[in-house]
Amino acid sequence: MTSASTEALELKAKGNAAIASRDWKTAVDFYTQAIELDPNQALFYSNRAQAHIRMEAYGSAIEDAAKAIEIDPASVKAYYRRAISNVALLKYKEALKDFRTVCKKAPNDKDARLKMNECEKLIRKIDFLKAIEQSDPPSAAEGLDLDSIVVENEYDGVRLEKEMTQEFIDDMIERFKNGKTIHKKYAYQIILKAKEIFYAEPTMPEVTIPDGNKMTICGDTHGQYFDLLEIFRRNGFPAETHAYLFNGDFVDRGSWSTEIAFLLFSYKWLFPNNFYINRGNHETDDMNRVYGFEGECKAKYNERMFKLFSEAFSALPLATLVGSKYLVLHGGLFSDDKVNLDDIRKLNRHLKKQPGQEGLMMEMLWTDPQPDPGRRPSKRGVGQQFGPDVTKSFCERNGLEAIIRSHEVRMGGYEVEHDGRCITVFSAPNYVDTSGNKGAYINVGSDYKLEHNVFDAVEHPPIKAMAYAQNSLMSM
């Protein structure tokens, strides 16, 4: 064995140790160094694919798994990891091929067989839905007569009449903390009213912060209800003088997504001009089917509730312009340098309810920054990455100080990149109960200076993340 091969194995061992300590980025770095020294070891690529999966860099994981298979066609782990990555990208037919290969090569692998069967069922379901799909299906609210729904005398919560009240929200917060739901009549009311408000808003609301007021910008909360309450406990609840902006991905993965959605929607009803919600890539039907929100709606309420939420999600604005200084959007910037704020203003989001695989809406929900200049395909496998030169040009052309985005875990809760022009904020600490990251939120005063705040995850009831996913496909 050469000295280079020996050193490469040592680096692989360090990568494995980083994986064990959940330091995915360091693991990628060690495996990369090992590959540079010895590029013909399938295990190095397969292990790096695992680290990429943990970082949700599914496109990179697929590339590494494919390289591992090229070197060693018998690498069962590589087929498995490529399958998992394709599931995450909603490419179920590609995933099914690899699951079948795993089951053929490792017939006693019960987990792979379970995932293969789940993948087959999901493909049949999607094909069925496509077969019966209507070009303009009726709203799930059609035939829903709220006045005829009786709230039973034994319901022990505060009643909701024609207008949202702080009393109802306070009671709802406690109900959710105690594992209770709200009555389905009130749930329907909240979604329908929020959808009405969202629909009337522009694609990019433009807000100012009056003297003496402040706004808090939060990133992904991903169904982590108790961590959301920790933000409010530390930072203050929404009020007439304290606006909040939630920058997408408030559902999926975490197992209290309905609780977060109802709470945010209720605050939107109470403070329609002082509480803002942008759409994220997880406020979409295809993601909700895999990552738990659809299953949670059905488990806690019913299928109609999910369909109503879907309609409300499709009405959400795609960005918010704060003080003409900060563009806040979930993903990031565009593949075309000609795109400007007026293009966002003119975008009719109501024509296309789901973002698809291309176009401005998809890019606003999916893109990520990169340290290198220029653009390249995203490590996620969807969308693209943009460099500091792209951000600088966009900000200068549009008179912005920075863009504020979310969409990616940051171990410190937030990160300032691209010479201060690109800020990522992520508000789900210890993401999916495994990542060990901090959470963060940003306060903005009337002087439009940014104050970054970091916080730790708090305890929650013993319900695991992804508990309501309809299948086992994303469990590792």
**Bridge partners of residue 133, in order along the sequence:** none
- Our measurement of the distance from residue 177's CA atom to the centroid of its chain's CA atoms, rounded to an integer in Å, reads 23
- Cα separation values, 304 from 128, 142, 144, 160, Å: 18, 11, 10, 20
As a residue count, the chain comes to 476
Q: How far apart are CA 8 and CA 167, in angstroms?
A: 62
Cα 51 to the center of its chain, rounded Å: 19
Taken in order 55, 58, 60, 63, the sign of the CA dihedral is positive
In this structure, what DSSP letter does residue 158 have? P
Nearest to 55 by CA among 26, 93, 17: 26
282 is catalytic: yes
DSSP letter string, 65-130: HHHHHHH-TT-HHHHHHHHHHHHHTT-HHHHHHHHHHHHHH-TT-HHHHHHHHHHHHHHHHHHHHH
* Nearest one of 404, 427, 428 to 417, comparing CA atoms: 404
Please state, in angstroms and rounded to a whole number, the distance separating the CA atoms of residues 186 and 205: 27
Set 222, 282, 407, 418: catalytic member: 282
List the one residue out of 206, 203, 199, 198 whose CA is nearest residue 398.
Answer: 206
Tokens 């040592």 correspond to what residue?
A: 10
Burial of 471 (0-12, 13-18, 19+ CB in 10 A): middle
Q: Which residues are catalytic?
A: 282
